[in-house]
């Protein structure tokens, strides 16, 4: 078996294989998405996730196709004219660009890739309707501090915050009282095959979507918040969804709960420490993120002096797949994901083979 440490898709969580087999044996591929059996799958997935991430009842859970879809839906449903984006990598930049492509007038605060935001005495432009933050920039290995983000919310309590948590969930223990919307896809921290996105949306965001709609502003069609909400209340989706993924997702959330999310977080911390300690002491290869408070626990990015190709090949001969850097960092960096599917033993093997 290969050990896959690319940041997404990544290693499958070990129970996924069994759940897929069970799903097929139960004929899940043929059930109607308007049936009781489907509603039960939806309900189980939604409720397990709610417990796992401690999502309050003020927030609704919607299933969509991907994280990039969530970026677009959130802009469509919550912004008439102006969103404000913190940009420090490829994903935060994409989100900003989508807003422009949707005909909005987004603004941004952009800093070089590899740096993070502390949100000290921020000046958010007047008329900002939504603040967009990428919690963990998978493209550079920068994670922002949750306390800093909460402080920003306290400074601007009336502006909703939407947060990309694609590569920080379920590791990060988020207090959703400060976060109005969040989203992720399942092929990273949840260790599943790609093809399912999850969006967490509070009442205020839903109201905003309704108010835009009532004023004749387009909020999109089949995945507008009001219709997603109306269907989710019945444990259904507007479209014929990825039922297989939804089934497996509910089961994986259940497995995380059985293991204990506290334990998963603690094990993640241990693996994070092993990797950064090793590379901090390495003569040649160094963590890319110098400021320790911004070092991602879940995507560890290492500067390797132009040797990423050589390292990726060497490790793959040992059955370990690590990622190259994103975009311009392809040759100069490697990326190592640290998700619940990754065991301490496998992390040790990376270290031994570096």
Ligand X SMILES: *Cc1c(COP(=O)(O)O)cnc(C)c1O
Binding site residues, ligand X, CB under 6 A: 8, 66-68, 91, 134, 138, 164, 166-167, 185, 194
Q: Looking at beta carbons only, is 70 or 212 nearer to ligand X?
A: 70
CB 231 within 8 Å of CB 211: no
Q: Which two tokens stand for residue 20?
A: 């897929």
**Which residues are within 8 A (CB) of 243 and not within 5 positions of it... i.e. 6 or more apart?**
28, 29, 31, 33, 38, 41
Minimum Å gap between C-beta 296 and ligand X is 10
Q: Looking at beta carbons only, is 164 or 180 nearer to ligand X?
A: 164
Minimum Å gap between C-beta 165 and ligand X is 8
Minimum Å gap between C-beta 207 and ligand X is 26
Task: Tell me the C-alpha to C-alpha distance, in Å, between residue 27 and each of 31, 40, 103, 247, 254.
Answer: 7, 14, 43, 12, 21
Q: Looking at beta carbons only, is 164 or 303 nearer to ligand X?
A: 164
Task: Tell me the C-alpha to C-alpha distance, in Å, between residue 144 and each of 133, 181, 248, 289.
Answer: 9, 16, 30, 12
Give me the sign of the Cα torsion angle 77, 79, 81, 82. Answer: negative
Q: What is the DSSP letter of 274?
A: H
Minimum Å gap between C-beta 294 and ligand X is 15
Q: Determine the Cα angle at 311 with ends 309 and 317, to 5°.
A: 105
Q: Looking at beta carbons only, is 6 or 202 nearer to ligand X?
A: 6
Minimum Å gap between C-beta 41 and ligand X is 21
Minimum Å gap between C-beta 110 and ligand X is 16
Task: Tell me the C-alpha to C-alpha distance, in Å, between residue 120 and each of 107, 152, 185.
Answer: 18, 8, 30
Q: What is the DSSP letter of 325?
A: P
Q: Looking at beta carbons only, is 185 or 338 nearer to ligand X?
A: 185
Q: Looking at beta carbons only, is 63 or 278 nearer to ligand X?
A: 63
Q: Looking at beta carbons only, is 278 or 340 nearer to ligand X?
A: 340
Q: Looking at beta carbons only, is 189 or 278 nearer to ligand X?
A: 189
Rounded distance between C-alpha atoms, residue 144 and residue 284, angstroms: 27
Tell me, rounded to whole angstroms, the distance of Cα 330 from its chain centroid. Answer: 22
Minimum Å gap between C-beta 66 and ligand X is 3
Rounded distance between C-alpha atoms, residue 54 and residue 96, angstroms: 28
Minimum Å gap between C-beta 113 and ligand X is 13
Task: Tell me the C-alpha to C-alpha distance, in Å, between residue 316 and each of 276, 312, 344.
Answer: 21, 6, 18
């Amino acid at each position: 078996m290969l050990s896959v440490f690319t940041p997404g898709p990544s290693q499958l969580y070990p129970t996924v294989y069994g759940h897929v087999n069970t799903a097929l044996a139960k004929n899940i591929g043929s059930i109607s998405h308007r049936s009781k059996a489907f509603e039960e799958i939806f309900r189980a997935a939604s409720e397990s996730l709610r417990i796992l991430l401690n999502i309050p009842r003020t927030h609704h859970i919607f299933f969509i196709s991907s994280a990039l879809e969530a970026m677009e839906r959130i802009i469509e449903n919550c912004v008439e004219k102006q969103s404000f984006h913190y940009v420090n990598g490829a994903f935060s930049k994409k989100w900003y660009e989508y807003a422009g492509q949707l005909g909005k007038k987004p603004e941004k605060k952009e800093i070089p890739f590899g740096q993070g935001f502390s949100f000290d005495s921020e000046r958010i432009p007047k008329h900002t309707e939504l603040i967009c933050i990428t919690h963990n920039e998978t493209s550079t290995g920068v994670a922002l501090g949750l306390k800093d983000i909460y402080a920003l919310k306290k400074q601007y309590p009336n502006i909703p915050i939407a947060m990309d948590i694609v590569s920080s969930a379920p590791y990060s223990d988020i207090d959703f009282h400060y976060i109005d919307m969040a989203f992720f896809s399942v092929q990273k921290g949840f260790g599943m095959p790609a093809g399912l996105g999850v969006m967490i949306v509070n009442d205020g965001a839903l109201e905003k979507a309704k108010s835009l709609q009532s004023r004749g502003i387009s909020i999109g069609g089949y995945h507008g918040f009001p219709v997603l909400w109306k269907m989710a209340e019945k444990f259904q989706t507007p479209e014929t969804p990825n039922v297989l993924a939804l089934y497996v997702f509910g089961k994986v959330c259940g497995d995380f709960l059985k293991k204990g999310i506290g334990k998963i977080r603690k094990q993640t911390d241990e693996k994070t420490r092993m990797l950064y300690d090793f590379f901090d002491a390495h003569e040649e290869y160094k963590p890319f993120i110098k400021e320790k408070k911004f070092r991602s626990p879940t995507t560890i990015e290492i500067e390797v002096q132009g040797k990423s190709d050589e390292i990726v090949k060497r490790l793959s001969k040992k059955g370990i797949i690590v990622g190259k850097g994103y975009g311009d960092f392809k040759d100069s960096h490697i990326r190592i994901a640290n998700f619940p599917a990754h065991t301490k033993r496998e992390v040790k093997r990376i270290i031994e083979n570096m």
